[in-house]
């Protein structure tokens, strides 16, 4: 076991003194970095004035010293945002109503291997990019699909993990109904489905008998499904994995940010002021979770009427660039309302759409490729 793995295991053993649950399981550990004998850890307390702050600090110091002997620890403490604290309270309520110990192993005080945490799942794809939004209905899935196709045209092997478990649409957009197969020698490993676009996909719609049936699952089941779609799938060979996020800043979003080794996120918004306010929460969440924001995309921004030279801005002036400046993130531009795109998504042939603005966004993503992988 590597020193970093030993360090993560040691942190998993630390329980919040008030809740009796691992600080990793609670999502309080936001950063774990190890470079030689230099260790950096950031822990968010549930509240800034936590009376047990010193006890948590001492526990972390002791765990690091034991896991990485002779190390130098740089420990920083923060506090959860009100939105994170509310989400945590809701999650704890759901867990306790179904027995909170589902993530525990048979050994008292020990977390099982499927318990959540920060980047506990191995990095198996060179570049993993989440595509998220503050709410549903902004065209996040269609942007994800277009980006995947554009990257595929640029010569990259691309996959999509549809993490919107209760509202999956990626399979329909790509016109795929094939059920995923499993490896002959590893029956627990799912093989992502090939599509006409060349993009490999995994979506809940491909795993259920009736794609129109609702997925009536509570939070812990959804979180587990997201982790399994990543960890139990044969993503080997894929160079870029796009994760189509669930909308909003829910517990499922926290699971993705904390459990999947995400390299960065692309945030999708639309010009309406109300949507902008909600997407601001998504931007804030990504920054709070220390997930790099690669770009902000303003979707459904205008209509190009044949009789008009200038675009018609259906929702008024664009607001994405202003939001990007406020949050100090790159603005990747605006995408139109395109009837051809809507028809392609409905018919399942998204690969027929090749929009120049999306190609430019794909080129921006390629700049994030690790040097060895992008060579």
Q: Tell me what the pLDDT averaged over the chain comes to.
A: 81
In this structure, the number of other CB atoms found within 10 A of the CB of residue 189 comes to 15
Alpha-carbon span 8 to 230, nearest angstrom = 20
Alpha-carbon span 216 to 40, nearest angstrom = 40
Q: Please, are residues 335 and 299 in contact by the beta-carbon 8 Å criterion?
A: yes
Q: How many degrees, rounded to 5, is the angle at CA 163 between CA 162 and CA 169? A: 45
Predicted pLDDT at 309: 80
Predicted pLDDT at 353: 95
90 closest CA partner among 27, 22, 163, 169: 27
Where does the chain show beta strands of DSSP type E?
29-35, 38-45, 72-79, 127-132, 158-162, 181-182, 190-191, 193-194, 200-202, 240-244, 264-269, 293-298, 331-334
Alpha-carbon span 40 to 222, nearest angstrom = 31
Q: Burial letters for 127-144: b for 16+ Cβ neighbours within 10 Å, e otherwise? A: bbbbbbbbbeebbbbbbb
Among residues of the chain, what percentage have pLDDT more than 70?
A: 80
- The arithmetic mean of pLDDT across residues 275-299, rounded, is 82
- Helix H or strand E encompassing 342: helix 339-347
Q: How many Cα atoms sit within 13 Å of 12 on the Cβ side? A: 20
* 195-253 pLDDT per residue, tens: 999 999 998 878 765 555 555 455 566 667 787 888 889 998 999 999 999 876 667 78
Q: And the tokens for 325?
A: 């400046």
Q: Is the dihedral of CA 112, 116, 119, 121 positive or negative?
A: positive
Where does 65-133 show beta strands of DSSP type E?
72-79, 127-132
Q: How confident is the model at residue 267 (pLDDT cuts 50, 70, 90)?
A: very high
Q: Please, are residues 282 and 266 in contact by the beta-carbon 8 Å criterion?
A: no
* 307-325 pLDDT per residue, tens: 778 888 877 788 888 888 8
Pick the range with the lowest mean pLDDT from 5-9, 190-194, 214-218: 214-218
Q: How confident is the model at residue 24 (pLDDT cuts 50, 70, 90)?
A: confident
Domains plus CATH for the chain? 3-103 (3.30.300.130), 127-374 (3.40.50.300)
Residue 42 burial (C-beta neighbours within 10 Å; 0-12, 13-18, 19+): middle
Predicted pLDDT at 231: 84
Q: How many degrees, rounded to 5, is the angle at CA 69 between CA 67 and CA 74? A: 80
Q: And the tokens for 26?
A: 């609670």
């Amino acid at each position: 076991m590597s020193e970093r793995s030993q360090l993560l295991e040691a942190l998993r053993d630390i329980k919040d003194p008030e809740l009796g649950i691992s600080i990793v399981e609670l999502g309080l550990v936001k950063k774990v970095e190890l470079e030689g004998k230099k260790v950096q850890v950031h822990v968010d307390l549930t509240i800034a004035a936590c009376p047990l702050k010193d006890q948590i600090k001492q526990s972390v110091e002791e765990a690091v010293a034991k896991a990485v002997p002779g190390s130098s620890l740089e420990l920083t403490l923060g506090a959860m945002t009100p939105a994170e604290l509310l989400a945590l309270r809701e999650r704890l309520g759901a867990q306790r109503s179904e027995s909170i110990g589902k993530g525990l192993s048979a050994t008292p005080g020990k977390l099982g291997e499927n318990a959540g945490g920060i980047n506990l799942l191995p990095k198996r794809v060179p570049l993993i990019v989440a595509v998220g939004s503050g709410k549903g209905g902004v065209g996040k899935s269609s942007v994800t699909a277009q980006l995947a196709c554009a990257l595929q045209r640029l010569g990259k092997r691309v996959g999509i993990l549809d993490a919107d478990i209760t509202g999956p649409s990626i399979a329909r957009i790509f016109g795929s109904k094939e059920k995923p197969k499993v490896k002959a020698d590893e029956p627990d490993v799912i093989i992502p489905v090939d599509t006409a676009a060349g993009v490999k996909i995994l979506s809940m719609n491909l795993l259920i008998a009736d794609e129109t049936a609702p997925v009536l699952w509570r939070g812990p089941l959804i979180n587990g499904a997201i982790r399994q779609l990543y960890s139990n799938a044969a993503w080997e060979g894929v160079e870029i994995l796009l994760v189509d996020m669930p909308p909003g800043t829910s517990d499922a979003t926290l699971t993705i940010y904390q459990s999947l080794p995400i390299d960065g996120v692309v945030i999708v918004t639309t010009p309406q002021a109300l949507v902008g306010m909600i997407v601001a929460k998504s931007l804030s969440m990504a920054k709070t979770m220390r997930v790099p924001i690669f770009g902000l995309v303003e979707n459904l921004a205008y209509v190009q009427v044949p009789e008009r030279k200038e675009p018609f801005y259906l929702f008024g002036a664009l607001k994405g660039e202003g939001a990007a400046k406020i949050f100090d993130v790159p603005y990747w531009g605006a995408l139109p309302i395109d009837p051809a795109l809507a028809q392609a998504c409905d018919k399942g042939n998204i690969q027929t759409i090749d929009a120049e603005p999306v190609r430019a966004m794909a080129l921006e993503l390629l700049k994030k490729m690790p040097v060895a992988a992008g060579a």
